Structure 1
Amino acid sequence: MNLSAPDAHLVSFAFEAWGHTRPLIAFTARVVKTRPVLVTMFTTDAFYDRVQKELSRSFEPGEEAYRSRLRLVSIAPGNTFEEEPLNEAFAAAWRKLLKGEDLVCTKTGERFPTALQPNALVVEFFSQGPIREVRASRGNKVKIYIWMPNMLAAFWRTCGPEDMGGLGDAHQKVTEEAQRTGKSYEEVAYNMIFCGSGKVIRVPGLPPMYDYEYHPQLFSFLQQMGGARFTESFETLKLADGIISVTPESYEREMVRATRKWCEENSKQVFVVGPLRVSGPNAAAYEKELSAASADAEAFLQDCLAAYGEKSVLYISFGSFFWPTENPEVLWTFLDVVMELNIPFIMSHASPLATVPDAVKTKVQTYGKGLMAAWNPQQLILNHPATGWFVTHGGQNSVLESLTAGVPQIFWPFEGDQPLNAVNMTENFDAAYELVEVRTRYSDKPIFRNGKKPLGTLEAVKAEARDVLTKAFGEDGARKRERLLQLQHEVLSEWDEGGASRRGFMNFLDSLRA
């Protein structure tokens, strides 16, 4: 395959959050396969091997020339929650690009020679350091696009203007409150971003919610991470030239309209490009390599298909980071009900914070219809005919993977966009269930849309689990599945000729040369 020489250079950078990085990999792979664009993707040593395998899923045999346009460069050992070292590593690598010096991968030692000067950057919405570095070094000569791998509504709640349900200029508000009260900036920022006071929040396209409904779980690690990294996002958004969102328009129609209106008023571009699916022989093969449990999972699903039929298996996963650390007995109580109802299940516990007691492992082994592993091949599981329902934290990546696979969800949200995805799928589309008795934070406060207060007991968790699981695998669940399949059709059509995501993607490529 002979390809024309690249005439644009795109740099991409996402921090160590797999739900953020995975769709960015798919996006950049589409870029190099569609136009003569050189892509330099920065990552960390800790993520390098996983990113490399995920990249391999996007290229089939005969597409090696396309793959050569995408350079994967680790720039630091990496730690998601030590932001400053990553910012410094980005700045050093960026300056080398501008000087025409070779880049050296810190993971492999591979050298990448002088290439085209970068003319565009795709970067996380809370990456203030890289954004300021680029503006300081290249002014407006490099276009900066904010990467939004989460639900648009959640982004605007944290980083958007107040008339869209957002916090507005949170940095200024935090600074003023810290000066007024004598509290530290970090403490005030955490309280503003992650705590609720009972204020009713109205975000375009979603039912009104109390602010504390955005934070349904105790998760002390958020305090370690802090809220300060989010408070300047509204200001850095102003420095950017545009937004790239992985949400499908049909999933957030009203919010997409509101986003386009805001961007138009502020001379910015918005490119809606979701969902970013990876398919083909290599996609399936390399996903199996990402998980040591792939063979066991596939065999388990095949056995369940033969013994119990289609849509019989429950898949449980809270993604690569979240876990009920403060009250894990809630999860084991839920799992007891799954086994009581004789439902075969696969459970992932990929979070570095996850621990599974020996007593639980023994119970599952005795049950004989459960499979537990730290990292399971999620797309393989969701696309298998034996899989019936997905208990999920509700991160955007998981929601879209489940939606495009046609598997309905039972939401157990923690933070970020998860509570909003739960409300969107349950209230707006009536295609899912949400567990509320599993809430461990603000569990004594009512839910705005129905006035219900969780009881906060393990007996209430059991009762809700029995009710939801019985409905899910019964007639009510079949009705919700039909509604999900209608939404699936709309979402998948976004990439058809004339679809919103195809248009958004092509418009983005055109912008690289504008």
Structure 2
Amino acid sequence: MPGHWVIFTAFAWGHLRPESNLAVTLARKFPDVTISCIVDTDFASKSLAEIKRNDMLGNDDSVLSRIRLIPMGRAMAAMTPEVVANFATIDPRCLPFTPPADVVKIHAAFDAMMEERPFEDSMGKMWEPIDKPNFIVSDVMMGHVTPALKQKYGVPLYVWFVGSATALTRMYGATEKGGRAPTYVQECHAIEAVPEASNGMPFAKIAHQVWARSAYMKGDIIHIKGLPPIYQWEDLPQNTWYAGFYDTIAYGHPLLEVTDGVFLPTVMDIEREGIEGVMEWYAGSANREVLCLGPQLPPAYFSPTGSKKPSQLANTEVQYGYPGITRPSDTQPKLEPCIAFLDEVLDKYGVNSAIYISFGSIFFPRQATHVEILFDRILALEKPMPFIFTTSAPRALVSDELAKRIKDSGRGLMVPWAPQQAILAHPALGFILSHCGGGGTFESLSQGVPVIGWPFIWDQPAHALWISEVLDTGFELLQVRDGPIKGKAFRGGSNGTEITGTDEAIREEIDAVLKACQGPEGKRKRANAERVKQLIWDAHQPGAQIDQHLDSLKKFATIAN
């Protein structure tokens, strides 16, 4: 009998978007398999739109009938205005990524699938039974849900991780391999249990501080295979904290422990040493698979840029926001202004002349002066560097004065949302200034766009380090750091780099980086980025590395009678 695979997605767009594309990739590769995607109800329409986009851009209408998009639960229902206002200080144990009531609903739906009986989703639709599932793919954030299903039914379980191999090692690898997870929760609880150690700190602050500096990381230096060494406080370069980060370790690590394999959005030829590092601590003698499936993007993203490609991508991109937190979608502009702006830039300044500035849909610098300095230095360039600046994050607020200055300059376009994939594919674009989240990192690499990194937390510091120091496809800003622990950077010679964080130091660093972008160093990094792009594109070719790794899943394509 044909296989029935279930993908448990996470609602965050940096996760849901590639997972929606992953569903299409798997359906396209295995034409007899039916795929059920469990999606948060509030974001099901976005996932469906992304699936249809991939299908349309891939000129393949055969996959939609085999992807069942099943809305279950509403994680954002717990995000009341009070919770949002106190998100950084709330006890993370009180705000699980998947609320308990949703876990019950999702488990009930999966039980019905396994028992081959009808069930009702959160939108009131009845789903008729098909053959019971024989394979599970789980987002790493679904640790409240999928380990129990693995334990109950013994169905093979693979995890999807959104970032690089080295970022996976930093999050979940063994302590001696530079990993955080094995000791993190234990250390947080141990500090809380001893009044002299906690000194009255709430648990949220304990979790934040241990994230920045663990007593288990001897010498304060992190060694991860595939990356140069860093001090552990460099892994939290901004004073950022959300309750969900604790949850990703507290429940993500037990999930990894019971999985049979891991999917990564990287490819072997750009991260071979980092992938070997994952295999050492994850696969080991347990016979678990590490499969590199490459960036999960529409097929059109891996084809040469033509005159219609940016506008084609822009006209199909899915606008995304968090209900009750981000700006309503009806206030967002049409997509055309960004591409029209870049078309004008191309005519006036030529190829690779513009920069795209985005901190994603969640993050934004706390220090308003840092943002002011950034735009002051861009606008002061003798050789213009036109820019698109997206303010999609809830905290991405700039002064009226700065907004007017950007508008009056004629060099910049400020928008509440931008079609990122289309922008990255435009020939006018030269660089992206980014927080280095997994989605944006691999989208940039897939288009050969060099990066200026301004990371905050989670997988972002590892990506910024990888891009700037290993791939040599970008830069990382160091003086903008304002993390909870002040310390120097390991890189920069035998004595490292002192982080003063003064306005003057930030100005000097940004000036130096922008100058480098427009000079020989920028050309070198762009050439390196183009080489990485080609390696990614080559890996996506029929019969190449990604196809070979997907072939490993053939064993799940049918269900034994």
Using the size of structure 1 for normalisation, the TM-score is 0.91
Deviates more, 1:419-428 or 1:41-50: 41-50
Change (3 A) 1:123 1:349: same
**Partners of 2:284 and 2:59 in 1: how far apart?**
41
1:456 aligned counterpart, secondary structure: coil
Using the TM superposition, name which of 482-491 and 77-86 deviates more.
Answer: 77-86
Asked if the contact 2:356–2:432 (Cα under 8 Å) also holds between the matched residues in 1, the reply is yes
Contact 1:288 1:294 in 2 (8 A): no
The gaps in structure 1 that reach 5 residues or longer are: 1-5
CA contact (8 A) 2:360 2:393 kept: yes
Match of 1:87 in 2: 103
Q: Which residue of 2 aligns with 1:435?
A: 477
Name the CA distance, whole Å, in 2 between partners of 1:353 and 1:256.
35
Q: Give 2:43's match in structure 1, choosing from 36, 44, 47.
A: 47
Letter in 2 for 1:132: P
Match of 2:447 among 400, 405, 409: 405
- Residues 286-339 of structure 1: CA deviation (Å, up to 9, x unaligned): 117777441111111111111111111110011221111x21221121011111
Equivalence for 1:337: 377
Does 2:302 match 1:286?
Answer: no
Deviations 1:398-441 (A, max 9, x none): 11111111111111111112111111121112221111111111
Matches within 5 A, 1:487-502: 487-502=532-547
Q: Among 362, 381, 392, which residue is 1:350 paired with?
A: 392
* Correspondence 1:64 to 2:61: yes
Offset of residue 169 of structure 1: 4.6
Q: Which residue of 2 aligns with 1:193?
A: 211
CA apart distance, 1:45: 2.9
Query: What TM-score, normalized to structure 2?
Result: 0.84
Q: Distance in 1 between matches of 2:205 and 2:239?
A: 17
Q: Which amino acid in structure 2 is aligned with residue 212 of structure 1?
A: W
The separation in 1 between residues aligned to 2:268 and 2:361, in whole angstroms, is 26
Q: Taking structure 1 as reference, are residues 465 and 169 closer, same or farther at Cα in structure 2, changes over 3 Å only?
A: closer
Aligned runs of 1:211-290 on 2, under 5 Å?
Answer: 211-219=232-240, 221-222=241-242, 224-225=243-244, 227-262=246-281, 263-280=283-300, 285-287=315-317
State which of 426, 447, 457 in structure 1 corresponds to 2:489. 447
What's 1:20 paired with?
A: 15
336, 342, 346: which is aligned to 1:295? 336
Are the aligned partners of 1:57 and 1:284 in contact in 2 as well (CA < 8 Å)?
A: no
Give the total of aligned pairs: 503
Contact 1:202-1:208 within 8 A present in 2 as well: yes
1:358-377 alignment, distance < 5 Å: 358-377=400-419
CA contact (8 A) 1:169 1:232 kept: no
The secondary structure found in structure 1 opposite 2:226 is coil
CA distance in 1, matches of 2:37, 2:112: 14
Q: Distance in 2 between matches of 1:469 and 1:24?
A: 35
* Preserved CA contact (<8 Å) 1:202 1:209: yes
The alpha carbon displacement at 1:510 in A equals 3.1
Give the alignment's Cα RMSD to 1 decimal. Answer: 2.5
Q: Which amino acid aligns with 2:163?
A: N
Question: 1:236 and 1:403 mapped to 2: Cα distance?
Answer: 29
- The alpha carbon displacement at 1:91 in A equals 2.0
Counterpart of 1:100 in structure 2: which amino acid?
A: E
CA distance in 2, matches of 1:286, 1:95: 36
- Alpha-carbon distance in 2 for matches of 1:368, 1:82: 45
Cα distance in 2 for residues equivalent to 1:357 and 1:169: 42
Deviations 1:4-24 (A, max 9, x none): xx7111111222221112111
- Give the counterpart letter for 1:343 in structure 2: M
Paired AA for residue 153 in structure 1: T
What is the CA–CA distance in structure 2 between the aligned matches of 1:176 and 1:216, rounded to whole Å?
25
Alignment partner of 1:485 is 2:530? yes
Alpha-carbon distance in structure 1 between the residues aligned to 2:119 and 2:368? 44
Judged with a 3 Å threshold, the aligned counterparts in structure 2 of structure 1 residues 225 and 328 are, in CA distance, closer, same or farther, namely farther
Alpha-carbon spacing, 1:510–1:496, altered in 2? closer, same or farther (3 Å) = farther
Is this contact kept in 2: 1:443–1:453, CA < 8 A? no
2:535 match: secondary structure: helix
Question: Residue 150 of structure 1 aligns to a residue in which SS?
Answer: coil
Q: Structure 2 unaligned runs (5+)?
A: 80-94, 301-308, 321-331
CA distance in 1, matches of 2:415, 2:8: 29
Same amino acid, percent of matched pairs: 26
What is the aligned counterpart of 1:461 among 506, 513, 522?
506
Q: Which residue of 1 aligns with 2:229?
A: 208
Could you say if the C-alpha distance between residues 194 and 52 of structure 1 is closer, same or farther in structure 2, counting changes exceeding 3 Å?
Answer: farther
Using the alignment, how far apart are the partners of 1:374 and 1:29 within structure 2? 29
Matched residues in 1 for 2:544 and 2:433: separation? 30
AA at the equivalent of 1:163: E
**Distance 1:316-1:157 versus aligned 2 partners, 3 A rule:** same
Write the deviation string for residues 329-388 of structure 1: whole angstroms up to 9, x where unpaired: 211210111111132100112212322332222111111221111210011101011111
SS in structure 2 of the partner of residue 315 of structure 1: strand
CA distance in 2, matches of 1:41, 1:369: 43
